[in-house]
Structure 1
Amino acid sequence: MEENFSQAIEKTKSIFHINEFTKYFTFENILKIAISVVSVIIFYIVYRLIKKFIRKKATTKLEKNTAVLVNKAISYIFYVLIGMYILGLFGINLKAIWGAAGVAGLAIGFAAQTSVSNFISGLFVLGEKSMKIGDTISVSGTSGTVESVGLLSVKIKTLDNQLVRIPNSSIINSVLTNYSSYKTTRQTFEIHISYEADLQKAMQKIKEIALRCPAVLHSPEPQVFYDSLIGSAKLKLIVWLKNEDLIKVKNDILTGIVKELRQENIKIT
């Protein structure tokens, strides 16, 4: 009976490969696992403290998008170092892994030349500091507010609330207009006046309308001048304003011009 029971146990072990499985639970391997767990916990605590310190410094010294990339880079470096440390504890040949990674990386590099181009372009975009999160930009006919600046692309939110991803290589190779680089901007208005009207009076009234607009800056002072005399007298009004006041200034000046010139019997053509 006992012999049959022993045979049954041995048969069960052979079916489930218990003997092969339990041979890995040696004191040495268990100690390595324990050391690895404790080491990872310690490294993680140190990593969190370092990341918190760098994040605090980065937010005060760097732009927002650069600070985000720095945090990501720190995280990637931590995960790579932890992985290498654990593999080293179990005697895995890291040189062989790096060699295989090098060959694989070379193959991937040839297959992903566009991504490499965008990555290199992303370094130039970050280095130039031509934009930051929150800026209003225009690239290749696409305009919007910058949502994120990454190493491969820039994401912007358009005026009609659409998310557009622009590859960094396109930004480097295109004309980029950043409307938020400076706090003030210049706006030009064209007004066509009939020759039958008092043109001098029209110029005076248009300038008064601009000066009365609270969002128009008085330094530099608004300027009104004749631009051409073909078909009708074309006048131009140039005003300076803060970027955020653009829509308000347009509404105030255009409605003011139509209302007051009509009252003065000055015909707009």
Structure 2
Amino acid sequence: MEMNASTFERYATMLGDLTVQFGTKLLVAVIVLMVGLWIIKRILKLFDLAMLKKKVEITLHQFMLSIISILLKAILVIIFASMVGVETTSLIAVLGAAGLAIGLALQGSLSNFAGGILILFFKPFKSGDVIDAQGYVGVVQEIQIFNTILLTLDNQRVIIPNGLLSNGCVKNVFVETTRRVDLTFGISYGDDIKKAKTVLQNVLDANEHILKSPQADIFVSAHADSSINILVRPWVNSENYWPVYFGVMEEVKLAFDREDITIPFPQRDVHMIQPK
């Protein structure tokens, strides 16, 4: 009986010592955790203010804050686990293996993810821009982390993966304030070239949206099969591109009709051979 009491007392003492030791570690770890969370909150606030000052795109802004928060909290959890006696080497190895497996499974998504970061960071285009990419022309409605949403000129919504946009050719149509309109008009070989060029210049002068500087170019561009092609290159403010394009096309036809300038079109002669 005395032996059992002695053994119980020894185990009780050991349990008490372990409780004190672990309790002390746990208390210190909890304090470190609380202080760490407060520091992370302050760091995120500083990053938030810095990105607001730099006018970072809102999508990238929120994404960067989320990534920084996850990384800092992951580091804090590892520190907490180490302080309470958990073997962190094995924990890090497991997390690394899981990350690798997820990365291999989501290769395509990660490519789009990386493309989204590049687009949001380097800003080859932004919301509201008109772009020509992957065979589509439209207004950029939203740049998401994985995809970019376009609204085409005929009011269709197109979702393009960011990986394709970051690795492919993207034409930002109206990023500059001015743009050149290239138009080609054909006249017959029997028409007066100088007269045709004068008529074209008068049409351009009458259009209020065409800029006086730089001056429009008007010159013969080709001796085609059935026409002399005259290239017309006026400059306009970007928002007036399509009104000028369609307006000049119509006005030139009307002006050529008034001045008896022929716009030729391909013709085919068919000879009927009568059987003998």
Q: Is the 8 A contact 2:59 2:145 kept in 1?
A: no
Whether 1:154 and 2:148 are equivalent positions in the alignment is yes
Secondary structure in structure 2 of the residue aligned to 1:134? coil
What CA deviation, in whole Å up to 9, does each residue of 1:98-153 have, x standing for no partner? 22111111222232332344445555555654333332222221222334445544
Secondary structure in structure 1 of the residue aligned to 2:179? strand
Paired residue for 1:110? 104
Distance 1:114 1:32 in 2: 44
Distance 1:86 1:34 in 2: 8
Paired residue for 2:68? 74
Secondary structure in structure 2 of the residue aligned to 1:96? helix
Q: Is the 8 A contact 1:192 1:233 kept in 2?
A: yes
Gaps of 5+ in 2: 1-22, 265-276
Larger Rg: 2
Give the drift of 1:220. Answer: 1.8
The aligned amino acid for 2:171 is T
Distance 1:42 1:33 in 2: 14
Q: How many residues align?
A: 242
Whether 1:145 and 2:148 are equivalent positions in the alignment is no
The aligned amino acid for 2:229 is K
Paired residue for 1:233? 228
Q: Is the 8 A contact 2:57 2:120 kept in 1?
A: no
The one of 209, 233, 236 aligned to 2:203: 209
What CA deviation, in whole Å up to 9, does each residue of 1:12-61 have, x standing for no partner? xxxxxxxxxxxxxxx989979996996588457535632541232231xx
Paired residue for 1:58? 54
The aligned amino acid for 1:97 is L
Distance 1:182 1:244 in 2: 10
Distance 2:165 2:28 in 1: 50
Q: Is the 8 A contact 1:69 1:150 kept in 2?
A: no
Distance 1:174 1:45 in 2: 39
The aligned amino acid for 1:142 is Y
Paired residue for 1:49? 45
The one of 146, 152, 159 aligned to 1:164: 159
Gaps of 5+ in 1: 1-26
**CA distance 1:161–1:32, shift in 2 (3 Å):** farther
TM-score (norm 2): 0.68
Give the drift of 1:90. Answer: 6.2
Paired residue for 1:176? 170
Distance 1:44 1:123 in 2: 23
Q: Is the 8 A contact 1:146 1:156 kept in 2?
A: yes
Distance 1:244 1:68 in 2: 32
Q: Is the 8 A contact 1:146 1:155 kept in 2?
A: yes
Secondary structure in structure 2 of the residue aligned to 1:171? helix
CA RMSD of the aligned region, Å? Answer: 3.7
Q: Is the 8 A contact 1:148 1:154 kept in 2?
A: yes
Paired residue for 2:255? 260
Q: Is the 8 A contact 1:123 1:151 kept in 2?
A: yes
Distance 1:36 1:158 in 2: 54
TM-score (norm 1): 0.70
